[in-house]
Amino acid sequence: MSYRTILGPAALALFAGYFMIPTALKAADSPEITKLLSDAKIEAIELKSDAADVESFTRSSSNWQSYSTRLEMVKEHINNTGKLLTKLKDAEATGSPWQRTAIKRIEPLLRELADNTTATIKHLDANKDKVHLPEFQDYVKTNYELATDLEALIRQFLDYGTAKEKFEESGSKLEIQN
């Protein structure tokens, strides 16, 4: 038996394996985590919108009830996002590296937003007649900025995941064509 007869199939298998290994080693994105992140993005968009409404009240003659009503909506979106974060953390081990990073980065920002919202509500409850003073307006502005950051963070991670998926699909097509 010649070396050529043995090496031909072995070389072909080695060559094919060379192109297949990187694909096999790629950590697959978890569809469950992607769905939960999409749900969190929807909550974050609504949260940002409500926080923007509260922030806009600082430039009007809105009374404390207007603030209170909208802040309760903000709180509800934060709680809903927190529930989604709990599910994300439960599924974290099944995620790809970018998904695990997203979960780790969302958590402290959401916690800070929740703490600031709680402080804002407490301040409002204790100072209902002082909603137009700078101290309360600073709470509200910080809340809006944190909500904006949370929405942007989640959106950017999802955009990255979409771009990564498209890139990998185009890479797979190139491998098949070659």
Convert the pLDDT of each residue in 102-111 to its tens digit.
999 999 999 9
Pairwise pLDDT comparison (169 vs 78), residue with the higher score: 78
Radius of gyration of the chain (CA): 25
Q: How far is CA 26 from CA 2, 16, 29, 98, in A?
A: 37, 16, 9, 12
Topology of domain 30-177, per CATH? Answer: Four Helix Bundle (Hemerythrin (Met), subunit A) (1.20.120)
Please choose, from the candidates 44, 7, 17, the residue with its C-alpha nearest in 3D space to the C-alpha of residue 175.
Answer: 17
Instruction: Express each pLDDT in 55-89 by its tens digit.
Output: 999 999 999 999 999 999 999 999 999 999 999 99
Domain edges within the chain: 30-177
Percent of the chain with pLDDT over 90: 75
What is residue 26's predicted lDDT score, i.e. its pLDDT?
56
Percent of the chain with pLDDT over 70: 81
Retrieve residue 157's tokens: 């991670």
Instruction: Express each pLDDT in 119-160 by its tens digit.
Output: 999 999 999 999 999 999 999 999 999 999 999 999 999 999
Which of 11-15, 94-98, 111-115, 160-164 comes out lowest in average pLDDT? 11-15
Helical spans, DSSP H, in the chain = 3-25, 31-57, 64-91, 97-126, 134-177
Provide the residue type at 27 as one letter: A
Question: 4 pLDDT exceeds 50?
Answer: no
Classify 95 as helix, strand or coil. coil
Question: 34 pLDDT exceeds 70?
Answer: yes
